[in-house]
Structure 1
Amino acid sequence: MSSKERTTQDFPSQETQPLEALIARLEEIAQLIQEGRVGLEKSIELYEEGQRIAQICTERLTAAQRKLEILSPMRPSADSLPPNSSDTTNPNTPQDS
Structure 2
Amino acid sequence: MWMDEMIRQMNNSLKRCDVSGVDLLMNNHQSLKVEIDVRQENFTMCINLDESLEKYQAKATDAPTDTNAAIDTSASIDTNAPIHRNVPIDTNAPINTDSH
The structure having more radius of gyration, on CA atoms, is 2
What is the TM-score when the length of structure 1 is the normalising length? 0.37
What is the TM-score when the length of structure 2 is the normalising length? 0.36
